[in-house]
């Protein structure tokens, strides 16, 4: 294990424009996309039309969760067929971790890949130093590293996720299958069942290898040919009329935006990321940028319908260099069938007891200790010294590409800052800050009325957002970046250091 160096970043930048990725995964191969086939009942789980299968659950005991996490290239069933992918512990997605506020998570990460990696607990408010959520670690092939994540006793509840964060390899490793959900549990909500739905995408060649991408796809942010729910294509979700379910949805796509809708059923939003609604709020659809998560209540009415992403316009790459993709277009994610005798549980429309929670904090009355402006850079190579380049383009913040030896923002622990994040580019960029959640206060000059907390904030093309951040509890050094992971890998990332 060693820290990421400037030399390694320069090497990554030099390779970024080639659209060539790590060896051993099949990612450099090309070929016609893999089209999933609908199969008869009783065939391999994961095929289109099969019942939804949820990942194995690992649950903390007496305040502690111990995980052996093996990152390895191997044959795994994806979309109902054998595919050669990257996986955690042999499954796509990886196991779901369930813990509570105040718990400790011990993870022994074994890197059996041919490339370096590390581990990020996305959304958790934990230390960024040492063996905790340290995004700047580099764990080489054949190495093992012991992580310890200690959640504060007042840690927000909700759905989070884990994935690799080794700069230069993040998009390749996530796209190839390395991700899993985490749930920080709260008091139970009155539901018939709870489901974890990890939405991801991938492209496979006819022989089951992960398909390579073009420089244009990398510039726009790759989107896979197959959109998966728990590693399956269009699985079946079955329920009885009158049942209420809790769905914890993770957008684990490298670049794809989701606009989730379930016509014919009642959706109520409990929260997004670590933010909570004051009360369950009925919604027609929910937009999740890459990295966002949603906590939903679904009240089941008789009939058959589809869980869909309705499509979301996230803009386009510059200079007309389009990828040929239908970026974040509409897709069917799953089929929902509600049949049988009505359940005795709460009927659709009945009140639901929300999970116990304290009032959502609001930083707007707080004194602001500092104001900052941060601007996405996506343009010519001139001002960025060739770093972060791809096809004559440069990616970064404030005309600078990522440099692991440079501190971009210095903040004071327990201070409150207001950041204005500007996006002059022609495509949306999701802004993710590690460790400290952000309160979104305004979008394109429109003020939000209710406290709105996110760890990924979508910044519209040609627009800006305003967030407030309390840099509480943890000193240390970590990162902020675009969560279109191809953009982060080629330089759209910066370092923030908090000190007393």
In a domain, 365, yes or no: no
Task: Please check whether residues 204 and 271 belong to one and the same domain.
Answer: yes
In a domain, 427, yes or no: yes
pLDDT digits (tens, 9 = 90+) for 38-86: 443 333 334 567 999 999 999 999 999 999 999 999 999 999 899 999 9
Task: Please check whether residues 51 and 77 belong to one and the same domain.
Answer: yes
Residue 174 confidence (pLDDT): 98
DSSP-derived letter for residue 293 is E
With beta carbons less than 8 A apart as the criterion, state whether 305 and 262 touch: yes
- The strand ranges marked E within 40-103 are 57-59, 64-78, 81-88, 96-99
**CATH code, domain with 419:** 2.60.40.420
In a domain, 156, yes or no: yes
Residue 5 confidence (pLDDT): 63
Give the bridge partners for 260, in sequence order. Answer: 286, 309
The H or E element that residue 111 is part of is strand 104-111
In a domain, 350, yes or no: no
Task: Please check whether residues 76 and 135 belong to one and the same domain.
Answer: yes
Task: Name residue, tokens 């949820």.
Answer: 54
Task: Please check whether residues 275 and 225 belong to one and the same domain.
Answer: yes
Task: Name residue, tokens 């995980």.
Answer: 67
In a domain, 234, yes or no: yes
Residue 359 confidence (pLDDT): 62
Domain of 270 in residue numbering reads as: 195-338
Task: Please check whether residues 268 and 409 belong to one and the same domain.
Answer: no
Task: Please check whether residues 164 and 221 belong to one and the same domain.
Answer: no
Q: Which tokens sit at 248?
A: 């914890």
- The strand ranges marked E within 275-359 are 275-283, 286-288, 293-299, 303-309, 331-338
Task: Please check whether residues 382 and 309 belong to one and the same domain.
Answer: no
> How many whole angstroms separate alpha carbon 420 and alpha carbon 397?
13
In a domain, 8, yes or no: yes
Q: Which tokens sit at 500?
A: 């007393």
Residue 44 confidence (pLDDT): 35
Residue 36 confidence (pLDDT): 56
* Domain-ending residue, one of 188, 219, 243: 188
pLDDT tens across the length of the chain (500 residues): 667 665 565 555 544 433 333 333 444 444 445 555 544 333 333 456 799 999 999 999 999 999 999 999 999 999 989 999 999 999 999 999 999 999 999 999 999 999 999 999 999 999 999 999 999 999 999 999 999 999 999 999 999 999 999 999 999 999 999 999 999 998 767 899 999 999 999 999 999 999 998 988 999 999 999 999 999 999 999 999 999 999 999 999 999 999 999 999 999 999 999 999 988 999 999 999 999 999 999 999 999 999 999 999 999 865 545 545 679 999 999 999 999 988 875 444 444 555 545 567 899 999 999 999 999 998 764 444 444 555 556 899 999 999 999 999 999 999 999 999 999 999 999 999 999 999 999 999 999 999 999 999 999 999 999 999 999 889 999 999 999 999 999 999 999 999 98
Task: Please check whether residues 333 and 384 belong to one and the same domain.
Answer: no
Domain count, the chain: 3
Task: Name residue, tokens 């989701």.
Answer: 258
Residue 385 confidence (pLDDT): 44
pLDDT digits (tens, 9 = 90+) for 404-413: 999 999 999 9
Q: Which tokens sit at 5?
A: 């160096």
Sign of CA dihedral 39, 41, 47, 50: positive
Residue 190 confidence (pLDDT): 83
How many Cβ atoms sit within 10 Å of the Cβ of residue 114?
Answer: 12
Task: Please check whether residues 281 and 313 belong to one and the same domain.
Answer: yes
Task: Please check whether residues 263 and 374 belong to one and the same domain.
Answer: no
* Domain-ending residue, one of 283, 315, 338: 338
* Domain-ending residue, one of 188, 212, 241: 188
CB-count burial class (<10 Å; 0-12, 13-18, 19+) for 192: middle
Task: Please check whether residues 237 and 318 belong to one and the same domain.
Answer: yes
Q: Which tokens sit at 199?
A: 């939405």
In a domain, 279, yes or no: yes
In a domain, 421, yes or no: yes
Task: Please check whether residues 96 and 218 belong to one and the same domain.
Answer: no
pTM of the model: 0.90
């Amino acid at each position: 294990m060693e820290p990421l160096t400037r030399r390694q970043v320069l090497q990554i930048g030099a390779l970024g424009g080639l659209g060539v990725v790590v060896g051993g995964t099949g990612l450099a191969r090309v070929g016609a996309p893999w089209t999933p086939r609908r199969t008869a009942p009783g065939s391999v789980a994961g095929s289109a039309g099969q019942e939804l299968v949820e990942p194995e659950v690992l649950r903390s005991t007496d305040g502690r969760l111990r995980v052996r996490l093996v990152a390895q290239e191997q044959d795994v069933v994806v979309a109902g067929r054998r595919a050669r992918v990257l996986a955690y512990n042999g499954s796509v997605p990886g196991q779901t971790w369930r813990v509570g506020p105040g718990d400790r998570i011990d993870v022994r990460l074994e890197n059996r890949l041919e490339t370096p990696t590390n581990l990020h607990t996305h959304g958790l408010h934990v230390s960024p130093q040492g063996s905790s959520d340290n995004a700047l670690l580099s764990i080489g092939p054949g190495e093992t590293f012991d992580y310890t994540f200690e959640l504060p006793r007042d840690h927000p509840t909700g759905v989070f996720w884990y994935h690799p964060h080794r700069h230069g390899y993040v998009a390749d490793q996530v796209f190839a299958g390395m991700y899993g959900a985490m749930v920080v549990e709260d008091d139970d909500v009155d539901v018939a069942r709870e489901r974890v739905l990890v939405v991801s995408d991938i492209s496979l060649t006819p022989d089951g290898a992960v398909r390579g991408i073009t420089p244009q796809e990398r510039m726009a942010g790759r989107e896979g040919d197959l959109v998966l729910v728990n590693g399956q294509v269009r699985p079946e979700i079955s329920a009885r009329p009158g049942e209420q379910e809790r769905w914890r949805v993770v957008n684990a796509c490298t670049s794809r935006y989701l606009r989730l809708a379930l016509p014919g059923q009642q959706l109520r939003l409990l929260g997004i990321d670590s933010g909570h609604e004051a009360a369950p709020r009925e919604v027609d659809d929910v937009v999740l940028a890459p990295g966002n998560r949603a906590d939903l209540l679904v009240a089941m009415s008789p009939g058959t319908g589809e869980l869909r992403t309705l499509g979301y316009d996230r803009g386009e790459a510059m200079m007309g260099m389009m990828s040929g993709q239908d970026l974040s277009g509409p897709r069917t994610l799953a089929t929902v069938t509600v049949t049988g005798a009505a359940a005795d549980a709460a009927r659709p429309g009945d009140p639901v007891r929300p999970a116990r929670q304290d009032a959502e904090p609001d930083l707007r009355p707080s004194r602001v200790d500092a104001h900052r402006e941060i601007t996405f850079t996506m343009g010519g190579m001139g001002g960025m010294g060739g770093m972060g380049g791809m096809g004559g383009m440069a990616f970064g913040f404030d005309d600078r590409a990522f440099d692991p030896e440079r501190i971009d923002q210095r903040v004071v622990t327990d201070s409150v800052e207001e950041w204005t994040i500007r996006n002059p580019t022609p495509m949306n960029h999701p802004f993710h800050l590690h460790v400290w959640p952000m309160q979104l206060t305004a979008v394109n000059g429109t003020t939000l009325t209710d406290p709105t907390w996110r760890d990924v904030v979508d910044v519209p093309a040609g627009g800006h957002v305003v967030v407030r951040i309390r840099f509480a509890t943890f000193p240390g050094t970590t990162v902020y970046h675009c969560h279109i992971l191809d953009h982060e890998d080629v330089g759209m990332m910066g370092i923030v250091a908090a000190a007393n």
